[in-house]
């Protein structure tokens, strides 16, 4: 590990955009209409940090605060719930637009569909979203978490009546475990936000579910962002949001900066290899950014990112910790944002880019200046409260 951020501009051969249509505006509209049918639905805040923008030398800085999403403190429920709905729609021979929350929680639905078991692997947020959706719809959920997972995240999943375990393997091996168990279970379905050969449809639906977040942000921001900073684990959120904005602004899409934990920087490693093929990162994937501790990219989102990302950044843990503290105690007059380890990395990255002379070359290549309108996604709140306090209160993982 190094102490500094690493980056590379995207010089990859373009993919041909065979997956870009997955994130069409039509599909995004279907996902948002589905989510709007939930009584718990409300657009999450888009926080404008004018003071921070001035301090960093930007024209504007916006943070989409997903800690308010459905009371679950993270955005992931958007993808899991929509994928479950699309699976059910397929089984019933209907379009997902016919499946509202009211119908899916009705006795009529249970009579027509019965009960399935949804299997997934998670660091916490995705599994909680799947468990929450399954519970509301009268379905079952089985969730496997990688070793080192926070007890608070385990407890939050268990509260949703899911069968949940912490395994002695990493995230990618938990994915394989969930898939194998689903294949051996009657009415078993794996709901995973990464793809592999023969398993592409459900991950595509999960990505479409994430479009609700991007669609809200575009609507709230009103003007086109010039730069969008996107954190990546398997890359599904990053590919989904990038795909949405490319479809929304096909003539002038924003510049996309893809950010990863240094311990699990499979997209960065794929980018520096330069041939367009995905690279994997193995081992324990130790990082405070638990939601980004994934060593194998989603090939669907990679197809979008290799064509449309502007740069890939590999981030030591202190970058995220710096972002957490900056959002928790912002410039006077700006509202505070409670951002967890995986949610705050964008704030950390943009602050380093704008304030560290070692990053001048990338800053200039990205054309980040006083006319830039930067959009960040705080994808989770304090989903591990104990660690959040250690970082924000006690100064753990200090900046170099």
Residue 2 has what pLDDT? 55
Contact 93, 113 (CB under 8 A): no
Tell me which fold the domain 77-198 belongs to: Rossmann fold (3.40.50)
Catalytic residue among 30, 76, 140, 255: 76
123 noted as active-site residue: yes
Model pTM score: 0.97
**Where is 14: in which H helix or E strand?**
none
Average pLDDT over residues 145-164: 95
CA angle 120, 150, 279 (to 5 degrees): 55
Express each pLDDT in 239-289 by its tens digit. 999 999 999 999 999 999 999 999 999 999 999 999 999 999 999 999 999
Would you state the CATH architecture of domain 6-75+203-392? 3-Layer(aba) Sandwich (3.40)
Q: For the chain, give every domain's residue range.
A: 6-75+203-392, 77-198
Q: How far is CA 41 from CA 101, 213, 231, 318, 381, in A?
A: 11, 12, 24, 34, 17
> How many angstroms separate the CA atoms of 347 and 71, rounded?
23
Express each pLDDT in 183-236 by its tens digit. 999 999 999 999 999 999 999 999 999 999 999 999 999 899 999 999 999 999
Supply 208's token pair.
């479409």
76 noted as active-site residue: yes
Indicate if the pLDDT at residue 45 is higher than 50.
yes
Residues near 176 by beta carbon (within 8 Å), at least 6 away in sequence: none
Give 228's strand partners.
Answer: 256, 375
Same CATH topology for 6-75+203-392 and 77-198? Answer: yes
> How many angstroms separate the CA atoms of 78 and 291, rounded?
15
Catalytic residue among 30, 64, 65, 123: 123
């Amino acid at each position: 590990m190094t102490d500094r951020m690493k980056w590379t501009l995207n010089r990859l051969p373009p993919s041909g955009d065979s997956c870009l249509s997955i994130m069409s505006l039509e599909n995004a509209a279907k996902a948002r209409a589905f989510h709007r049918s939930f009584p718990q639905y409300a657009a999450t805040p888009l926080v404008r940090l004018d003071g921070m923008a001035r301090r960093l030398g930007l024209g504007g800085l916006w943070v989409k605060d997903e800690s308010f999403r459905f009371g679950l403190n993270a955005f992931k429920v958007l993808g899991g719930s929509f994928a479950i709905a699309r699976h059910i729609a397929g089984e019933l021979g209907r379009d997902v637009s016919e499946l509202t929350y009211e119908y899916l929680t009705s006795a009529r639905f249970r009579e027509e569909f019965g009960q399935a078991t949804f299997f997934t692997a998670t660091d916490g947020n995705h599994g909680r979203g799947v468990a929450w959706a399954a519970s509301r719809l009268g379905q079952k959920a089985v969730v496997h978490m990688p070793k080192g997972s926070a007890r608070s995240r385990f407890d939050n999943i268990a509260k949703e009546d899911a069968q949940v375990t912490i395994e002695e393997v990493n995230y990618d091996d938990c994915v394989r475990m969930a898939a194998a168990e689903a294949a051996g279970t009657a009415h078993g379905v794996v709901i995973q936000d990464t793809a592999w050969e023969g398993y592409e449809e459900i991950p595509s639906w999960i990505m479409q579910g994430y479009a609700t977040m991007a669609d809200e942000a575009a609507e709230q921001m009103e003007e086109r962002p010039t730069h969008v900073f996107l954190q990546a684990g398997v890359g599904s959120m990053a590919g989904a949001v990038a795909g949405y904005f490319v479809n929304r602004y096909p003539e002038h899409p924003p510049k996309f900066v893809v950010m990863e934990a240094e311990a699990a920087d499979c997209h960065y490693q794929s980018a520096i290899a330069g041939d367009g093929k995905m690279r994997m990162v193995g081992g324990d994937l130790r990082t405070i950014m638990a939601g980004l501790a994934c060593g194998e990219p989603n090939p669907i989102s990679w197809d979008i990112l290799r064509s449309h990302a502007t740069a890939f950044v590999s981030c030591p843990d202190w970058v995220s910790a710096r972002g957490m503290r900056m959002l928790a105690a912002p410039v006077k007059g700006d509202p505070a944002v409670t951002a967890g380890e995986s949610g705050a990395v964008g704030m950390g990255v943009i602050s380093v880019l704008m304030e560290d002379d070692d990053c001048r070359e990338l800053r200039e290549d990205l054309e980040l200046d006083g006319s830039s309108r930067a959009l960040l996604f705080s994808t989770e709140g304090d989903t591990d409260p104990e660690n959040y306090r250690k970082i924000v209160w006690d100064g753990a993982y200090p900046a170099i």
